[in-house]
Amino acid sequence: MDRSTTTPPLAHRAAATARGPLRERAAEVLWANWTGTSTVPSRALYPHQWSWDSAFIAVGLRHLSPLRAQLELETLLSAQWGDGRVPHIVFNDAVPPGAYFPGPDFWRSTTAGRAAGAPADVRTSGIVQPPVHALAAWLVHRADPGLSRARSFLARLRPRLAAWHRYLLESRDAGGAGLAAVVHPWEQGMDNSPCWDGPLSRVAPAAPGAFRRADLAHGAPEDRPTDADYGRYVRLAADYRDRGYADVPRPAAIAPGAGPGAFLVEDPAFNALLIASEHALALIDAESGGPADRSYAHRARARTLTEALVARLWDADRELFLCRDLRSGELIGERGVTGLIPLVLPALPPGVAAALVRTARGPHFGLGGAARLVPSHDLTGAAFDARRYWRGPAWFNTNWLVERGLRLHGEQGLADGLREAVLDVAGASGFAEYVDPYTGEGRGARGFGWTAALTLDLLHEGRDGLFGGAEGESGGAPGGEFAEEGWGHG
């Protein structure tokens, strides 16, 4: 029996190491946030199961309890819709209705989502979040392959993960170039980024009396989105719900201006995580004993999507990936951390990877210099705000992704420095939701799930590379795990 599913994970503590107390504290956060089948991001502010939170949490949980990490992903994917989408929230009916907005009564998944195949026995939201799940599933499998095989973990999840990717690659290819589009800032995960200001300006906010902001009961107003922006989020979500969660057709039906799909954006981080998860799905297929051509198809798709990402979203002058507004057809000039996340891709052209490293180290993001952690937005930009949600504060999941990407592309020194900074700030901030990028002062919720989980991953002594091999095995060094398929950049 996996004792950590029923009692605090005392057996996994490493108090003898210099980082032992930090490991203990991170494990206690995850234990406190565990519901029995999944982990909430925060007991107070986010009392349900969130999609990409659970994926990142599973990455850390695998070091405490591989079984619990498997259950985390299984619980989330059991709420998948018939069309393949994985909803961004799975609601816990035991939580009081007013504890979070927008709650299940707003999304009305079982009725408004019926045509899209929303499950009848569990209530969810109707939008999605970044598809990091296949990558998380592969890393969880690698933590205890014997347990994974005994439970048929990958074999059971593989069809769901494949359907999830198929939904994004088909129903969300609004631009017609192969990349997935997001229809709401909440889908991209970096909710309040200045990258969305232009597209959101087309959206009329919902009336202030039409919703009640539960988030302000748990955070200072100056740390959270403004009422006007929140009203736009509510209006977008309500419009999507009211059209039965139907996605915008491919380019022929896209017209400038407002209307269905007023917010329609190709985002580099969202697509980079989809590509990384395609790489992982190829490994999952191979491990599951599927046909060789199926695994190869995922590898080929990952290469094709990487090429599309560079062709569509790379800005050589800014040396950064940018978002594309599909309504205007133009790249959005704001520099967000989303543009650095493609560092996680093993087949990124070497010149692009080197340019991204220069940008990360430069004045806009301050890696290894002005900033303690990589900020969520351009330090020099007019919209930068060190404390307001996603408009400047540093987040632990994006810093983990940048650290992984740096290491993948051979930047071991930079990666080591960022790792140490993340660990120091995570512990000092009480595992905060996000922090001031200059001072490390905590903002938002404390005891935050993915902050604790990714701390555990960074503390793990025998750390895997991004795709589950040893450090340096995939990516930067020629001859790595992906070299035979041309996935390395050496």
Is 170 among the catalytic positions?
Answer: no
Give the C-alpha separation, 55 to 63, whole Å.
14
How far is Cα of residue 438 from the mean position of the Cα atoms in its chain?
23
Dihedral, CA of residue 24, residue 26, residue 27 and residue 29, to nearest 10: 120
> 191, 247, 285, 403: which is the annotated catalytic residue?
191
Cβ atoms 422, 396 nearer than 8 A? yes
User: Largest Cα–Cα distance in the chain?
Assistant: 62
Cβ atoms 419, 457 nearer than 8 A? no
- What tokens does 161 get? 């993960």
How far is Cα of residue 372 from the mean position of the Cα atoms in its chain?
21
> 229, 285, 334, 433: which is the annotated catalytic residue?
433
- What tokens does 489 get? 């950049």
Is 74 among the catalytic positions?
Answer: no
Residues marked as catalytic: 191, 433
